[in-house]
Structure 1
Amino acid sequence: MSDTKQPIWFIADATAGLAAALAEAVLASGQHAVLAARTPARLQPLVERHPGRALALALDVTDMASVDMAVAAAERHFGRIDVLATSAAQCYPGAIEEGEDGAMRALFDENVFGPVNLARRVLPGMRARRAGHVVMLARASVPAPAFEGFSQAARSALEALAEALFYEVEPLGIGVTLVDPGSGDDTDPLVPRAAGIADYDGLAGRAARGSAAARVDAARAALAVMQAVAAGRGPLRLVLGRAALQRAYDRLRVLKVGFDAWADLAASADVPAPVRPAHPQPPPGGRTRRAVRSRA
């Protein structure tokens, strides 16, 4: 067990993408890290470069027994987990109609239930210390959801859960940050996809899928995440990269335009307010009494 005062990180899926860059940056800064992945042997070279400050563990976030064992091993080795970084990078491109039930469930197990269950397992220690930070590395947002509906649905579910968790644990001294990494990663794993439907071939959304997007620098993105965590409880949403920030602003504008265009119709659904008479009415069968003003 370590008695270090340096933050102890637990980084899931630390072999690729932003999670891998975060592992490098955390250890380079002198902090400690548990690096978890399905194939921990891939993490061993990084562990060997930082003896005493890094630990590689096997982790399958879709298997609760694996989650329990990894967290327990991390807490035995370092004594605590100060910052948890989960990762949700799996994608499942295709039209909604093309989706297969097993693949859809696998995507949500990996991108939603896995990160949330890992957070649920780490939170008791953070609550006991009234300190900690949960960082959820979401799959990058896309300009348009067509033919990316499943990936975006999983991202939206994780976002909603992260927002609820933020307000639940903030009074307990624990921060929650959902990170939009700004761009996809060429190494993101794909769920095996079903055969396509010919009617969707050639449509604009299908043709645009996979086109090169403005990418963020993973090393700089990792430093930004660390800076947000070091600031305290950090922001609920951390968007990385100008392109991702522009997409976020564009989405807000589109939503506002739609809300404004239908505002009158929306208001028309309210329960009508009771109509109040302009003047008091006399009670049935009686006359209203006038207030008698006392004379001095």
Structure 2
Amino acid sequence: MPSSKWFPWDFLKSHPHTIDFNKKGFYAIQFCDEFVSHILMERLPSELTDSGNFFKVSAADLTPDWFEEKFQTMSLFAQNESYLVIESQNLPAKTKTWLEENPLSLDDQFLIFSFPGTSKVYDSFAKKINGEFIKIEAPRFWENLLHLEFICAHFNLSLPMNVKNYLIQSLENTSYEFFQAASLLNLYFPGGANIQLEYVQKLIRPNKLDHFSLASSFGSKNKSRFYKVLTASELDFDQLRSLFFFMQNHLFKLMDPSYCDGKSRLSKYDKEILSHSKAWSASELQKEMHIFGELELAAKSKSPLLKNRLRLEYLSSF
């Protein structure tokens, strides 16, 4: 069944209205977060239905009877209306099973399921239902400029490069942080008119977690400082997930610093990698990488036990 993966800005460039108006049928779109979902779903064309609009329904309220009535019952007054199903991860199990076992005829309608994050319902649908399946993937940690510009474009907000650099250096690379910053700046400087860095610095204070500083502490085997910062800070799951992903890459470099061999000039970070790698055995690094892998999965699933796990790691670091 057709499926594709995109980063938000690439998807927007290729699909300015999110879906193809000329290709009706079943759609399932899984977004990386609710802010990217909001931006892209707002671009759905109003001409989705004969009445010039589409109907938004909550997945939790849908039953097999509802689908039979809307898509399988002939009516003299039918207008071939289309529907957008929001919070699709909350679809009742009975309804999900019914949809997978009863193919709908959607030649003249759109049925769009929107998932604001990863979902087993999406994965199951992709295997059992004929339709278009689209995954919008989270920006990688080094794609902060593309991420910021994607969100600013939603507000028609034009920022000078020095302001962009300040926001990238000051904020975590998350849709939440960039969306809130862009919304605030657009309120004070509509469209970015007359915006100056000194005013931005007063409105938006830095709150970015310094990955390299933390990696340096951990690399020098000062694990107590590393975990103390994490347990003492009010960090959200996205911030933690980004850090744990970064740390796995960092420890891999400690395990195999040969990437430095071909460089004519080593950065401060490269030199630190070479120095710290001597303090670790391969088995020690493998163990720590495994721990960070587990922590990343816990952050990705928004586990309520993650904070306790970090406290335990902090206590065991002494």
Question: TM over 0.5, yes or no?
Answer: no
Structure 2 length normalisation: TM-score? 0.28
Q: Which has the larger radius of gyration?
A: 1
